[in-house]
Amino acid sequence: MLDTNVLVTADGRAPQAPLPCVAACAEALNAAVRDVVWLDDGGEILEEYQRNLNRDYPLGVMATFFVELQSNLGVPERCRMVSLSPNDNRVYEEFPEDAALAAFDRSDRKFAAVALASNMDPDVLNAVDSDWWHHRVALAANGVHMRFVCSELVAEWQREGAG
């Protein structure tokens, strides 16, 4: 389960991400494509990936990852789809009803929703988005497993939190 920011960071297009973080994102995508990538069958995640592709990086990690992902769309071992149902308040039925998550970014909710709907507990990977960090306790309490790819940024968020 890959938040779009991991893909964009892997291209070196996230200004706050140091080089080891960029490399870690690239490795994470390489591993994911060889394992399983989770998507919603309504195409929202794929559409967001596509929207964030940058034509200036045709041979970048994101573009090549996207092409490989596209090749795997018909391969159930590599690419799994789950259905999401709309919900007026929570965006998706599958997103937890929890006051502690009321401020969680609405466009990122699809990743958590797919992870929960999958019944397989895939990790949601995040690189540069601090929102996941701020909501990590509530998300985990609702069964969302997260992996923060960039330890440097986590350290920064921890410092900010402590400060």
Partner 1 sequence: MDAFSYVAGREIQMITGLRIKNFKGWKDTKPFRLAPITGLFGTNSSGKTSLLQLLLLLKQTSESADRRIALDFGDDKTPVALGTLLDVLYRHDDTNALEWAVEWIPRADERATLADDIGNSVDVSKLELAGAVSSAKSGPRTDSFSYSFGKNRIGYRYDPGRRRYSLEMEPADLVQFGRPVGRPPLSEPTKCYGFPDELKSYSKGEVLADLELTFESLMSSLYYLGPLRDDPKRQYVWGGAQPRDVGMRGQLAVAALLAARARSLMISPGPRKKRQHLEKYVATWLERLSLISRFEVREVRAGSNLFQVHILRDPESADVLLTDVGFGVSQILPVIVLCFYVPEGSTVLLEQPEIHLHPAVQAGLADVLIDAVNRRGIQVIIESHSEHLVRRLLRRVAEDNIRSTDCALYFCDSMEGHNVLTELELTEKGAISNWPKGFFGEPLEEAVATTRAVAARFATAD
Instruction: Look at residue 20 and give its three-state secondary structure.
Output: helix
Minimum distance from residue 70 beta carbon to partner 1 (Å): 8
Minimum distance from residue 142 beta carbon to partner 1 (Å): 33
Answer for which of 35, 41, 73, 155 binds partner 1 (CB under 8 A) is 73
64 binds partner 1 (CB under 8 A): yes
User: 79-82 and 37-40: which strand pairing?
Assistant: parallel
Minimum distance from residue 2 beta carbon to partner 1 (Å): 14
Distance linking the first and last C-alpha atoms of the chain: 31
How many other C-beta atoms can be found within 10 angstroms of the C-beta atom of residue 150? Answer: 24
Cα separations in angstroms, 58 against 36, 43, 65, 118 = 23, 22, 11, 31
49 binds partner 1 (CB under 8 A): no
Q: Residue 30: is it exposed, middle or buried by C-beta count within 10 angstroms (0-12/13-18/19+)?
A: middle
Answer for which of 13, 36, 44, 68 binds partner 1 (CB under 8 A) is 68
Q: Segment contacting partner 1 (CB under 8 A): 20-28, 83-91, 126-134, 155-163?
A: 20-28
Residues found near partner 1 in the complex (CB under 8 A): 10, 12, 18-20, 22-23, 26-27, 29-30, 33, 59-61, 63-65, 67-68, 71-75
